[in-house]
Structure 1
Amino acid sequence: MTAVTAPYPRPIRRQGEAGVTLVEILVVLAILGVMTGVTALALPSTTRTTTLTNEAELLASRLDVAAEQSLMSGRPAALDWGDGGYRFLEWTGTEWTTHRNPLLGTHHHMGQSSLNADRMAARDGRMVIKADLSPPDTQAEDGTGEAVATLRLRAADEEISLRFDGATAWVVTQ
């Protein structure tokens, strides 16, 4: 009988390990992924000024909506601020209640920003939006002779002003 030999040679075993395994590579990649994610989350996504500008534009849009809905319903609304945020209220004829529009009635937290009216330095306040869209009671002359309310949003050393004439709100760029 003849001995049958394998068509390929047997692998030679080494005494020590000469490379890295697939599992080791995957562990290193997972660690790098976690470290990259933590670093990305630690970096600020926007500057404070951009965030403050966005807050001012959002408040201006909400004031416009509140004024429009106040005109349509014939009932005054109010911007009520404090506790690091604001919400809108609605006059029912006997009392102020949370605005029925959930986008306006829900308390909006502004993070590190604060809001106050031009003539009211208090961190809490209320500005009434009249149903006839006449200028609010918290008003000042804007240089053109028209009465407008000035709201100021502050965060650290940044400040942005917002004007409201009873019907339209706009952000004042410096």
Structure 2
Amino acid sequence: MTRTAPQTRRPDAGVTLIETLVVLAIIGTAVGAAMLAIPRGTEAPGATREARLLQARLTRAVDASLETLAPVRMLWDPTGYVFEVWEDDGWQAHPAPVLAARHGFPGGVSLEGEGTLSITPELLPPEDGPLRLTLRGGAPAVLRFDGFAAMLEAGT
């Protein structure tokens, strides 16, 4: 029985297909991880971006009212808005920092009118029906709040 020595590759043979595929898989995984780590491009400051931020904060305020069973209110004017909570027989700054800090609009963006919106744990709609908040700055954005959910209206 004769044995043959295992064949060895010549030093100038190059790389195999398997080696190339392994390197491509490693590069693809690294690029995928980097894409997930890099934040997406942010929207330019404008009415639509501010309407989305307000929508998220109204949702957070509804959740907070349901969690604590305490009424929450939003005070707004053309330059910004802030949230408060009912505690100890009076309105206090909201304990959640994102709601307690007054949010001012960037230059060129404003909210029509001024007013107060009460959010109750019973999720009652506003007395005059769903509230429509119109933000101006670039293309206008309209946010509708029905006492339970804030929704951007079509076309925004």
The interval holding the TM-score normalised by the smaller chain is 0.5 to 0.7
1:72 corresponds to which residue?
67
Q: Deviations over 1:64-109 (max 9, x none)?
A: 1100110111111011112611111111142111111001110111
Which secondary structure does the structure 1 equivalent of 2:55 belong to? helix
After superposition, where does 1:66-105 map in structure 2 within 5 Å?
66-82=61-77, 84-105=79-100
The code of the aligned residue for 1:150 comes to R
CA distance in 1, matches of 2:136, 2:89: 34
Q: How far 1:163 moved relative to its partner?
A: 0.9
Segment of structure 1 superposing worse, 64-73 or 106-115: 106-115
TM-score between the two structures when normalised by the length of structure 2: 0.65
What is the RMSD of the two structures over their aligned residues, measured on CA atoms? Answer: 2.0
Q: Deviations over 1:43-71 (max 9, x none)?
A: xx9656xx211110110011011001101
- 1:131 and 2:130 correspond: no
Between the two structures, name the one with larger relative contact order (CA 8 Å, sep ≥ 6).
Answer: 2
- Identical amino acids, percent of aligned pairs: 33
Matches within 5 A, 1:2-151: 51-82=46-77, 84-111=79-106, 112-116=108-112, 122=113, 124-137=114-127, 139-140=128-129, 148-151=130-133
Task: Report the TM-score, using the length of structure 1 for normalisation.
Answer: 0.59
For residues 111 and 68 of structure 2, what CA distance do their matches in structure 1 show? 27
Q: Tell me, which stretches of 5 or more residues in structure 1 are unaligned?
A: 1-44, 117-121, 141-147
Partner Cα separation in structure 2 for residue 153 and residue 160 of structure 1: 5
C-alpha contact (below 8 Å) 1:68/1:167 kept by paired residues:
no
Task: Return the alpha-carbon distance in structure 2 between the equivalents of residues 53 and 60 of structure 1.
Answer: 10
Q: SS where residue 104 of structure 1 aligns? A: helix
Question: How far is 1:130 from its partner?
Answer: 1.2
**Corresponding position of 2:139:** 158
Stretches of structure 2 that go unaligned for 5 or more consecutive residues are 1-41
- The runs of 4+ residues in structure 1 deviating greater than 2 Å are 45-48
Distance 1:83 1:134 in 2: 25
